Structure 1
Amino acid sequence: MPTQTQPSSDAKRDGVTGAVDRHRQTEHTSGDGIVDTEIAILGAGFAGMCMAIGLLKAGRTDFVIYEKADSLGGTWRDNTYPGCACDVPSQLYSYSFAQHAGWSRTFATQPEILAYMKQVAQQHNLNAKIELNTQVTAIQWDQSQRLWRLTFHDGRCVTARVVVSGVGGLHLPKTPALPGLESFAGPAFHSARWRHEVDLRGKTVAVIGTGASAIQFIPEIASTVGTLHVFQRTPPWVLPRNDRPTSRLARWAFARVPLLQRLWRAVQYWSAESIALGFTLKPKLLGRGQKRSATFLKSIVKDPVLHDKLMPMYTMGCKRVLISDDFYATMTRENVNLITDRIAEVRPHSILTADGIERPVDVIIHATGFQPFHPAADMQISGRDNRTLAADWHEGPEAFYGVAVAGYPNYFMLMGPNSGLGHNSVLFMIETQVQYILQCLAWLATDRLDTIEVRQDVQRAFNDSLQKKFDKSVWKSDGSVYRLPCTSWYVHASGKHTALWPSFSATYWLAMRRADSSHYLPSARIGTTTRYRLVPKWARSE
Structure 2
Amino acid sequence: MATHAQGPDHQVVIIGSGFAGLGMAIRLRQAGCRDFVVLEKADEVGGTWRDNTYPGCACDVQSHMYSFSFEPNPSWSRMFAEQPEIWEYLRRCVDRYDLRGNIRFGAEVTGCAFDETAGIWHVSLADGRSLTARVVVAGLGPLHVPAFPDVPGLDRFRGVTFHSSRWNHDYDLTGKRVAVIGTGASAIQFVPRIAARVGQLHLFQRTPPWIMPKPDRVMSAVERRLFRRLPFVQRLYRNAIYWQLESRILGFNVDKRLVRAAEALSKRHIARQIPDDPALRAAVTPTYTLGCKRVLISDDYYPALTRPNVELVTDGIREVREHSVVTADGVEREVDAIIHGTGFRVGDVSSLDIVGAGGVELNDLWRREGMQAHLGVAIAGFPNLFMLVGPNSGLGHNSIVFMIEAQARYVVECLRLLDERRAQWMAVRPSVQDDFNRKVQGRLNRSVWQSGCESWYLDDQGVNRTLWPGFTFTYWLRTRRVREADYDLVTRASATPLDPLFGDRPAVVGHPELVGAGGR
Specify the TM-score bucket, using the shorter chain as the normaliser: over 0.9
% same residue: 49
Distance in 1 (alpha carbons) for counterparts of 2:372 and 2:418:
24
**Cα contact 1:443–1:535 (8 A) shared by 2:** no
The equivalent residue for 1:504 is: 471
TM-score by length of 2: 0.94
Distance in 1 (alpha carbons) for counterparts of 2:4 and 2:174:
64
The equivalent residue for 1:486 is: 453
The equivalent residue for 1:17 is: none
**Cα contact 1:33–1:145 (8 A) shared by 2:** no
**Cα contact 1:442–1:539 (8 A) shared by 2:** no
The equivalent residue for 1:167 is: 140
**Cα contact 1:442–1:536 (8 A) shared by 2:** no
**Residues 230-258 of structure 1: CA deviation (Å, up to 9, x unaligned):** 00000000011121111111101101010
Equivalent positions of 1:71-470 (< 5 A) are: 71-301=44-274, 302-375=276-349, 377-394=350-367, 395-470=369-444
**Residues 59-94 of structure 1: CA deviation (Å, up to 9, x unaligned):** 111100000111100000000000000000011111
SS at match of 1:148: strand
Q: Which amino acid aligns with 2:280?
A: L
Q: 1:535: Cα distance to partner? A: 12
Distance in 1 (alpha carbons) for counterparts of 2:510 and 2:313:
54
- Residues 31, 371 of structure 1: CA spacing in aligned structure 2 closer, same or farther, 3 A cutoff? closer
Distance in 2 (alpha carbons) for counterparts of 1:307 and 1:535:
62
**Residues 251-287 of structure 1: CA deviation (Å, up to 9, x unaligned):** 0110101000000000000000000111111111000
Q: 1:429: Cα distance to partner? A: 0.1
**Cα contact 1:43–1:167 (8 A) shared by 2:** yes
Q: Please, which moves more after superposition, 224-233 or 495-504?
A: 495-504
SS at match of 1:272: helix
Q: Which amino acid aligns with 1:337?
A: E
- Residues 441, 540 of structure 1: CA spacing in aligned structure 2 closer, same or farther, 3 A cutoff? farther
The equivalent residue for 1:46 is: 19
Gaps of 5+ in 1: 3-27, 478-484, 527-533
SS at match of 1:215: helix
Q: 1:374: Cα distance to partner? A: 2.8
Distance in 2 (alpha carbons) for counterparts of 1:334 and 1:69:
41
**Cα contact 2:200–2:309 (8 A) shared by 1:** yes
Q: Which amino acid aligns with 1:257?
A: L
**Residues 318-343 of structure 1: CA deviation (Å, up to 9, x unaligned):** 00000001101111110000000010
Distance in 1 (alpha carbons) for counterparts of 2:284 and 2:4:
66
Q: 1:126: Cα distance to partner? A: 0.9
SS at match of 1:305: helix
Q: Please, which moves more after superposition, 43-52 or 489-498?
A: 489-498
**Cα contact 2:111–2:352 (8 A) shared by 1:** yes
Distance in 1 (alpha carbons) for counterparts of 2:507 and 2:225:
36
The equivalent residue for 1:480 is: none
Q: 1:127: Cα distance to partner? A: 1.1
Q: Which amino acid aligns with 1:470?
A: L
- Residues 57, 103 of structure 1: CA spacing in aligned structure 2 closer, same or farther, 3 A cutoff? same
Q: 1:540: Cα distance to partner? A: 8.3
Distance in 1 (alpha carbons) for counterparts of 2:90 and 2:370:
32
Q: Which amino acid aligns with 1:466?
A: V
The equivalent residue for 2:496 is: none
**Cα contact 1:33–1:146 (8 A) shared by 2:** no
**Residues 161-209 of structure 1: CA deviation (Å, up to 9, x unaligned):** 0000001011000011210000100100000000000110000000000
The equivalent residue for 2:449 is: 475
SS at match of 2:428: coil
- Residues 89, 200 of structure 1: CA spacing in aligned structure 2 closer, same or farther, 3 A cutoff? same
**Residues 278-299 of structure 1: CA deviation (Å, up to 9, x unaligned):** 1111111000000000001011
**Cα contact 1:82–1:221 (8 A) shared by 2:** yes
**Residues 9-45 of structure 1: CA deviation (Å, up to 9, x unaligned):** xxxxxxxxxxxxxxxxxxx8x9636200000000011
Q: Which amino acid aligns with 2:175?
A: G
The equivalent residue for 2:462 is: 495
SS at match of 1:48: helix
The equivalent residue for 2:518 is: none
TM-score by length of 1: 0.90
Q: 1:539: Cα distance to partner? A: 6.2
Q: Which amino acid aligns with 1:190?
A: H
- Residues 525, 265 of structure 1: CA spacing in aligned structure 2 closer, same or farther, 3 A cutoff? farther
Aligned residues: 500
The equivalent residue for 2:498 is: none
SS at match of 2:386: strand
Q: Which amino acid aligns with 2:144?
A: H
Distance in 2 (alpha carbons) for counterparts of 1:421 and 1:219:
26
**Cα contact 2:27–2:509 (8 A) shared by 1:** no
- Residues 512, 185 of structure 1: CA spacing in aligned structure 2 closer, same or farther, 3 A cutoff? same
Distance in 2 (alpha carbons) for counterparts of 1:130 and 1:444:
24
Distance in 2 (alpha carbons) for counterparts of 1:157 and 1:525:
24
SS at match of 2:50: helix
**Cα contact 2:14–2:21 (8 A) shared by 1:** yes
Distance in 1 (alpha carbons) for counterparts of 2:30 and 2:489:
28
**Cα contact 1:121–1:127 (8 A) shared by 2:** yes
Gaps of 5+ in 2: 494-503, 514-520
Distance in 2 (alpha carbons) for counterparts of 1:473 and 1:33:
51
Q: Which amino acid aligns with 1:403?
A: V
Q: 1:448: Cα distance to partner? A: 3.8
Distance in 2 (alpha carbons) for counterparts of 1:438 and 1:206:
47
- Residues 33, 143 of structure 1: CA spacing in aligned structure 2 closer, same or farther, 3 A cutoff? farther
Equivalent positions of 1:24-43 (< 5 A) are: 32=5, 34-43=7-16
